[in-house]
Amino acid sequence: MFELRDLGWDDEWAKRFAPYAADGLVPGRVAIEFNYIYRVFAASGELQVQHSGKLRHEAESLSAVGDWVAVRPTAGEETGTIEAILPRRSKFSRKVAGELTVEQIVAANIDSVFIVMGLDGDYNPRRLERYLILAYESGARPVVILNKSDVAEHLAEDMDEIQGLAVGIPVHAISAKQKSGIEVIAGHLGPGRTGALLGSSGVGKSTLVNALLGEEKFKTKDVRAHDSRGRHTTRHRHLIVLPESRGLLVDTPGMRELQLWSQGDGARDTFEDILELAQGCHFTDCRHRDEPRCAVKQAIEDGTLAADRLDGFLKLQDELKSLESRKDVRAQIDAKRKWKPVANAMKKFYKDRDQ
């Protein structure tokens, strides 16, 4: 059994849920998803559930780990049916891996996004920029966790570099393996608060979860020596309740591919330094590529801005532009598909009338 408030339930959730309670449904929080079968935490305990046919047909997106849902329990069984998904307060999304232009919600209703990066061969500031963009747009508070401080060769320099990229964001160096510094995670959580651990495979997310739980509950594997990458020891996203009401964590598989999904303020917040420099460009629509009197390119010549920082910014700008173009095409296709039955019905109506 669970105390709903330990799962993040509050008066606002209760207010939103009231219409469903009147219909005999119970609230639950999605803990794990596997092939459209879900495990949810409810006051009565864990339930295995699926979406109702109506919800599958009408919902813009199906349940994600961290969602609060309205469940109709099956009498006498630990099963039920998800009848509705409560509006999300936050969500960390990416474009689904591959060619499809579809949103994948990695975690929902999270308070803090913990971006975990290893201080070994996994160290990659350019990849961190991508995580920061999506973290800013999630609606949750981003926190950078630099793991494996015990093997870092240039810890002070790495910390300075990351703090320069993640201005105003907490940056912590820890060693999950040695359980050093892990208390900073709990400092960003607390009763009913939810964090999501995000990062590439092999950064030590499962090791960190085990350290916070105080037991070896989740499998871990050593990373490859030549590139510090690991296998996906975490195969599915799942919600973990920390002991002693210390909060909740969404553990996620390592992301081999992190494609952006939306074009909000995330890029602006992540590249604030470049955008400030751009105010000094001669042309207001300067793209910082071949234009003359570009303040951003001048900063690179002066040594005050790293060239690869601008390269990363331009690459992401191109990617976002391409993404928006593909979204427009998809929206047109969806609109045609939506209105095709209506058009066919109108054609049939006029044809029958004229006969």
Same domain? For 206 and 230 the reply is yes
Residue 81 and residue 101 in one domain? no
> Per the domain annotation, does 260 fall within a domain?
no
Q: Do 86 and 108 touch, CB atoms closer than 8 A?
A: no
Number of structural domains found in the chain: 3
Structure tokens that stand for 355 in this block: 């006969």
57: enclosing H helix or E strand: helix 53-58
Residues paired with 297 in a beta bridge: none
- Output the pTM of the full model: 0.75
Nearest to 196 by CA among 245, 255, 146, 237: 237
Same domain, 52 and 103: no
Q: Kindly give the pairing relationship between strand 68-73 and strand 248-251.
A: unpaired
Do 215 and 131 fall into the same domain?
yes
Please state the φ and ψ torsions of residue 133, each to the nearest 5 degrees: -60, -50
Tell which of 251, 285, 312 closes a domain: 251
Do residues 140 and 115 make contact, with C-beta atoms less than 8 angstroms apart? no
In a domain, 266, yes or no: no
Cβ atoms of 242 and 229 within 8 Å: the answer is: no
98, 247: one domain? yes
Q: 276: domain range? A: 271-355
- Rounded CA-CA distance 19/129 in Å is 42
Q: Taking the CA atoms of the chain, what radius of gyration do you get in angstroms?
A: 23
Q: Are residues 81 and 106 in the same domain?
A: no
Give yes or no: residues 116 and 208 share one domain: yes
| Residues 96 and 64 both lie in one domain | no
The 3-state secondary structure of 270-323 reads HCHHHHHHHCCCCCCCCCCCCCCCCHHHHHHHHCCCCHHHHHHHHHHHHHHHHH
Q: 220 near 274, Cβ under 8 Å? A: no
pLDDT at 337: 56
DSSP state, residue 151 = G
Do 194 and 107 belong to one domain? yes
Give, in order, the Cα–Cα distances in Å from 75 to each of 24, 39, 72, 195, 210: 12, 17, 9, 33, 35
pLDDT at 226: 45
Q: Which of 61, 85, 109 corresponds to the end of one domain?
A: 85
Walk along the chain (355 residues) and give the pLDDT tens digit of each residue: 899 999 999 999 999 999 999 999 999 999 999 888 999 999 999 999 999 999 998 887 899 999 999 999 999 999 999 999 999 999 988 765 555 556 788 899 999 999 999 999 889 998 898 888 888 888 899 999 999 999 999 999 999 999 988 888 999 999 999 999 999 998 999 999 999 999 988 899 999 999 999 888 776 655 444 444 444 445 688 999 999 889 999 998 865 555 554 555 556 677 888 888 999 999 988 989 889 999 999 999 999 888 888 888 888 778 777 666 555 444 454 455 555 565 566 666 566 666 6
Which CATH number characterizes residue 216's domain? 3.40.50.300
Q: What pLDDT, on the 0 to 100 scale, is given for residue 32?
A: 95
On whether residue 239 sits in a domain, the answer given is: yes
In terms of domains, do 123 and 72 share one?
no
DSSP readout, 103-141? EEEEEES-SEEEEEEESSTT--HHHHHHHHHHHHHHTSE
Shared-domain flag, residues 126 and 140: yes
